């Protein structure tokens, strides 16, 4: 059996703000999570990942942290956190924290001190730079580089009191920490050890491949980026994605924090990471991270123009997963996800959230979970939650949606309707509508007014109904998770993609020793026959799982959105 415990694990992500509210303020809280631990244990997941629960001004819903060693009062207290952790451990599960250390909040005492004067002891803990040479500080275009921030506007904020700018790759309230400074790194490692000493089981590391910036050793300058036509700001990512000291920093973190502590899990969120980088990052002998979140597959339906919806080509999606499966086959490990708090709901994005919602949600789950890697389930995915109906920009709460909308309309000449059509389909608030527990007016999420509107379809799509229905997405996910726990080929088997040029079917085999699995998913609403090479060898295979009436294994005619999994001995 497998050597590393997390290869057999399934992780469940909780976005605490939207999970369950017990005090009626419209925001989820830790007691709400405690109240649903039996539900999660029933699903069979091994690890819970908590999105940030630390004190925060909530500019980016907690990804702007003002105190790394405490709990946001809206969510609870450290005592309640300990109770939650004990409840998780009592049920045989583990809990990992979100680690957001590319940036802090501008209200963190570190930044408050850093901005207090150019001579402050912590001035160098953040990226302070003068205006572009020859330009008047604080005027448009005088920013130290031409980079745009992810949430719209420039990546630099002007601080009039000191006459300098600070770098913020995300919002102005999320100044980037300066990882070049060893004291910064030491403070972060000490904080991480404090959480591990408290009993947590690891970390999901936010945009951790952005911590090392390309900086001129002599002048300290950061380079300009490429300015795409029609866009207000440049893409600076070449200067901070997978930067020159990334591996060094992660190895140091591993040594100082993680090494020798037993069964932990570390996963680095890494937009723009390549397969080659991931091999190095997840090679256990190098001591960096256990796995990474890559973004290629969730960018598969993006194109050159950010405000155009490009349809998914299944061949593109398969080429991406195939590349990652092959690239990490010998060394390293994949993480597998469709959803998180930044992505639209997968059943709306790649499935059919109408007539075939249940079936397509099951098919998508099957295909993902039977890849080689550690699957992540995002709250509500296990009941097939869908995108939400957003009408106007006033319906959105996400700083990214609001900031990008503003920039596109005011600086880039876009029409509200073209921007809205993309935000409705892809906006992050789709994932953040409250968890749908039951059919009652606020879906059992809160007795108050939810911070973001509950999806009206909760009357039909909710956890109570799903748990009560043996044919629900919930019970199907439960079986998928159980299969990973009981069938070694799911964990350790090798992976071979079939039918790479087929735009309708996703097919692959897994093999470990003399056991083989065949997995086929129909990504369309039509009946499709799979022309598998040597189909006859599957004639007496055993059906492991399907979401519709099963065809004979050697004549695979799949119904709309059907998935089939067969097993045979070779």
| Beta pairing class for 94-99 and 557-558 | unpaired
Distance CA 549, CA 546 (A): 7
CB atoms within 10 A of CB 152: 22
CB-nearer residue toward ligand TEU: 63 or 566 = 63
Among 269, 290, 382, 429, which one carries the catalytic annotation?
A: 269
Distance CA 325, CA 294 (A): 12
- Helix 275-282 with 314-327: angle, nearest 10 deg: 40
97 SS3 class: strand
CB-nearer residue toward ligand TEU: 339 or 472 = 339
SS3 readout for 104-124: CCCCCHHHHHHHHCCCCCCHH
Q: How is 386-452 classified by DSSP, letter by letter?
A: ------SGGG---HHHHHHHHHHHHTS---HHHHHHHHHHH-THHHHSPP--SSSTTTTT-SS--SS
Q: Is 143 a catalytic residue?
A: no
Among 29, 176, 206, 252, which one carries the catalytic annotation?
A: 206
Q: Which two tokens stand for residue 481?
A: 């998770």
Q: Name the site residues for ligand TEU (rule: CB under 6 A).
A: 60, 63, 100, 150, 170, 206-207, 269, 271, 341-342, 400, 428
**Nearest distance, CB of residue 63 and ligand TEU, angstroms:** 3
The b/e string for 420-444 (b: 16+ C-beta within 10 A; e otherwise) is bebbbebbbbbbbbbbbbeeeebbb
Distance CA 369, CA 401 (A): 30
Closest CA to 277 of 372, 326, 209: 209
63 SS3 class: coil
**Nearest distance, CB of residue 275 and ligand TEU, angstroms:** 18
Q: How is 451-491 classified by DSSP, letter by letter?
A: SSPPPGGGGTS-HHHHHH-TTSHHHHHHHHHHHHHH-HHHH
351 SS3 class: coil
Q: Is 206 a catalytic residue?
A: yes
Distance CA 381, CA 15 (A): 12
CB-nearer residue toward ligand TEU: 320 or 541 = 320
Residue with CB nearest ligand TEU? 63
> Which uninterrupted H or E stretch holds 557?
strand 557-558
Closest CA to 512 of 537, 485, 487, 494: 494
CB-nearer residue toward ligand TEU: 16 or 271 = 271
CB-nearer residue toward ligand TEU: 207 or 264 = 207
Distance CA 459, CA 182 (A): 53
**Nearest distance, CB of residue 383 and ligand TEU, angstroms:** 22
Contact 186, 110 (CB under 8 A): no
Contact 97, 203 (CB under 8 A): yes
Phi, psi of 467 (to 5 degrees): -65, -35
Contact 99, 205 (CB under 8 A): yes
Phi, psi of 388 (to 5 degrees): -110, 155
Q: Which two tokens stand for residue 445?
A: 């999420």
- Any idea which residues carry the catalytic annotation? 206, 269
């Amino acid at each position: 059996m497998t050597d590393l415990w997390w290869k057999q694990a399934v992780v469940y992500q909780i976005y605490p703000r939207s999970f369950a509210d017990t005090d009626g303020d419209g925001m989820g809280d830790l007691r709400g999570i405690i109240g649903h631990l039996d539900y999660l244990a029933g699903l069979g997941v091994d690890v819970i990942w908590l999105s940030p629960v630390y004190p925060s001004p909530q500019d980016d819903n907690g990804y702007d942290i003002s105190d790394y060693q405490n709990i946001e009062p809206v969510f609870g207290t450290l005592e309640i956190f300990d109770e939650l952790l004990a409840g998780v451990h009592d049920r045989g599960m583990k809990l990992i924290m979100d680690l957001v250390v590319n940036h802090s909040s501008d209200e963190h005492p570190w930044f408050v001190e850093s901005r207090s004067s150019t001579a402050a002891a912590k001035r160098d803990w953040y990226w302070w730079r003068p205006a572009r040479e020859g330009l008047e500080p604080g005027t448009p275009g005088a920013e130290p580089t031409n980079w745009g921030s992810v949430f719209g506007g420039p990546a630099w904020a002007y601080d009039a009191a000191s006459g300098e700018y600070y770098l913020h790759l995300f919002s102005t309230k999320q100044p980037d920490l300066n990882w070049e400074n060893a004291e910064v790194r030491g403070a972060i490692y000490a904080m991480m050890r404090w959480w591990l000493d408290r009993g947590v089981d690891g970390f999901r590391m936010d945009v951790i491949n952005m911590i090392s910036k390309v900086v001129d050793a002599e002048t300290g300058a950061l380079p300009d980026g490429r300015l795409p036509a029609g866009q207000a700001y440049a893409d600076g990512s070449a200067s901070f994605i997978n930067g020159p000291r990334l591996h060094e920093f992660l190895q140091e973190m591993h040594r100082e924090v993680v090494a020798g502590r037993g069964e932990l899990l570390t996963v680095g969120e890494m937009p723009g990471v390549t397969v080659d980088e991931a091999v190095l990052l997840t090679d256990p002998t190098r001591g960096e991270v256990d796995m990474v979140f890559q973004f290629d597959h969730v960018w598969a339906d993006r194109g050159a123009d950010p405000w155009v919806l490009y349809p998914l080509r299944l061949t593109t999606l398969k080429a991406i997963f195939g590349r990652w499966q092959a690239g990490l086959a010998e060394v390293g490990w994949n993480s597998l996800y469709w959803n998180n708090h930044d992505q639209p709901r997968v059943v709306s994005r790649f499935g059919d959230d109408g007539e075939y919602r249940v079936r397509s949600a099951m098919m998508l789950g099957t295909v993902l979970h039977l890849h080689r890697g550690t699957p992540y389930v995002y709250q509500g995915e296990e009941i097939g939650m869908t995108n939400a109906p957003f009408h106007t920009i006033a319906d959105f709460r996400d700083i990214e949606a609001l900031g990008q909308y503003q920039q596109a309309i005011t600086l880039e000449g876009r029409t509200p309707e073209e921007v809205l059509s993309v935000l409705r389909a892809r906006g992050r608030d789709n994932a953040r509508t409250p968890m749908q527990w039951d059919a009652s007016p606020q879906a059992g999420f809160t007795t108050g007014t939810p911070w973001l509107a509950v999806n009206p379809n909760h009357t039909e799509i909710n956890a109570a109904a799903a748990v009560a229905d043996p044919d629900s997405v919930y019970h199907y996910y439960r079986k998928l998770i159980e299969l990973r726990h009981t069938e070694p080929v799911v964990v350790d088997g090798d992976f071979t993609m079939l039918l790479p040029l087929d735009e309708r079917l996703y097919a692959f085999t897994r093999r470990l020793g003399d056991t083989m699995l065949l997995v086929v998913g129909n990504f369309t609403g039509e009946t499709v026959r799979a022309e598998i090479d040597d189909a006859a060898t599957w004639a007496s295979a055993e059906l492991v799982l399907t979401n519709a009436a099963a065809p004979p294994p050697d004549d695979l005619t799949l119904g709309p959105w059907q998935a089939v999994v067969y097993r045979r001995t070779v």
